[in-house]
Structure 1
Amino acid sequence: MRSLGVRNFRLSLSWTRLLPHGTGEPNQEGVAFYSRLIDALGAACIEPFVTLYHWDFPLSLYEQYGGWTTERVVADFTAYAEVAFKLFGDRVKNWVTLNEPETFCDQGYGSGVHAPGRCSDRARCTEGDSSTEPHLCSYYALLAHASAVRSFRKLVPGGRIAMSTSIGMSVPLTDSAADVAAADRQQTFNAGHFLDPIYTGDWSDVRKAAVGSVLPAFTPQQRQLLLDTRQDFIALQHYTARYTYHNASAPPLYASDTTVGADGVPLPRADSPWLHVFPSAFRDLLGWLHRRYNQTIIVTENGCSAPGEGSRPMHEVLCDLDRFRVDYFRQYIGNATAAVEEDGVMLEGYFAWSLLDNFE
């Protein structure tokens, strides 16, 4: 990495590598491993950006109380965060609390396709309630984040901390007022899922109306905690976008998506079936976040999978012979540059996903 001129490196800690049972005394082998890594980065003049939680919840705690759907997780996550801050806060100044809580909440407790595999569909999941548990997970993840940030302010003076959120962009299919309003509703619902509570102390009105009474309500004390622990930057993870149009038969947002533009031209698709290339939407998203939250942004993930890379010869994938990845990065970074230079977006940094793929 030093020979490449890399100056920043994002990595994640494993909760159970530091605390094998989720709580208690630290595992000294785990402490030594991360300490050596952080020291090696420092020796190479590479600044570490450390994420506390990237979806590996301690099994012993899950067996005790079910993970992110109960209040106990707030105290346990905070205690784990405090251990990490005390061990590494002298050498690490940039932190992320949770990696994409919308993913582990919705897919872990809603669809059940990610751990812990809970959902209402008994053909897929042995237990769970998709109507309530994703919202409970979001609620306690936000409170755990805020509680950890409160400890961070005391333990890592001069440091910076945020929660990373994966956000797409809803681009109106046409210029009609109905499509513009539908795209705005959907964008607020999705992008504001975690950011609105962090910056305003409460869920957006769009989310409250769409989810209804099963959405947990923040107490006045919790709203104040969220406001008092406002993060230092927006840690943005972005890959793709869609066209959005008004659909009267699609409550509660009355919005639907398509990957085909009004001109009939489909968006190019990466190897991942959900990832369509839409570079100008990246600039739109950066501008939307800037106008809504007026906060410094660091892109903590942006990248793509190349079409057919799972079946093509390795040398073709590594050499990017059709320039799919090169063109993706060129277009997306170009739009990010335009957002800074022409739109006034406060974009401080950009991490390509990924130098060492998901094993990092």
Structure 2
Amino acid sequence: MIKNFFWMCSGADPDLLNESPKSEQIKYAGIGGTIFFTAVMAFIASSYALFTVFDNAYIAISFGLVWGLLIFNLDRFIVSTIKKRNNAWQELLQASPRIVLAIIIAIVISKPLEMKIFEKEINQVLLEQKNELTLQNKNQIADQFTPEIERIQSEINTIKIEVDAKEKEVNDLYTTYISEAEGTSGTKKLGKGPVYKEKREKHDALLNELQQLKKESSTSISEKEASIILLRNKQELQITRDQPIINGFDGLMARINALGELAWLPSFFIFLLFVAIETAPVLAKIMATKGAYDLRYEEQEDALKVWVEQQKNQRAALLSTDVALNEKVYYDVAKDEEIYNYKKQKAKDLLKLQSDKFYKKQSEIIG
């Protein structure tokens, strides 16, 4: 049963194979098995490739099955139509479209399996790319918020400098009027005289201004710091919102690009392996020697060709004979006097009828 199945896969005639030697039966079972397992490999590879795209096993298996059947039917058709000739180059030329297609299919199918084989290395490359994208994203978002944050921070610093300057001025006045009271500077008179009172009043007035300034500055700084906190929260929120997009940067195209950054030699050998698998059915048929099955098939084909040619020749001869007989019959009829007189009388009647019709039509016109 398995042998008959592989014969069916090879596209060979089972009736001719049953009459062929056992070596021929084994050969075509081997060709059929190559076609079948090539289709199985195409099914597995295409299913995995589609699973990486759709992330759905049912869709991937369904499309993979269709693809595997397509490859199976294509290989079976091409192998069954390759005729064994005495010239291997003619057979290779006949199979060249399938070989070109095999290279294209090998490129398409090998990539998903390469991504699976080198999955850990690809994940490492993707991790580095994601980290780089995360850093770039943070820098880009920071470029949006940093100028405004720095401007507000600069205003806060300006207010603090202004308060510090005012506080230093108050402290200087405090030192001045204390020194005046102690007689260590100014008039150098011990006691609280008029100069002391003047400096004290100036200090107290400036101290009230400082207290008012601190109060206003505290409110302003609090508002500005709240604005900075709000901007930083917006910045962090945008980074958090964009991060899932970066984390999801591991689709099919991203993985193919990551694979391209790895060493090319292992991928190249995997590609060659799939080229060998895809071209195996055709090459198996081409490399197989011309055996008893091929001779029987050629004999059957030649017999059919001769029979068809005979039928065409017979139809041509029949047509030629019929034409010759028709010419002779009509030639003899043309010489028959009775036929001549009959046709002459009918021609006269027709001319008379035509004349009468014409006369009647013209009479109606004239009135």
Tell me the TM-score range normalised by the shorter chain: under 0.3
Which structure's residues are more often strand, by fraction? 1
TM-score (norm 1): 0.17
Which structure's residues are more often helix, by fraction? 2
Higher relative contact order (CA 8 A, sep 6+): 2
